[in-house]
Amino acid sequence: MVVDSSAIYAIIAGEPEREQLSDVLDAASRAWVSAATLTECVVVMLGKKTPGDPVAILERFIRIYRLKVVPVDEAQWRLAAEALSRFGKGRHPARLNYGDSFSYALARSLDAPLLFKGDDFAHTDIRPAL
CB 105 within 8 A of CB 83: yes
Residue ranges for the known binding site are 4, 100
Assign residue 95 a region (left: φ > 0; alpha: ψ between -120 and 50; beta: otherwise): left
Residues flagged as binding site for Mg(2+): 4, 100
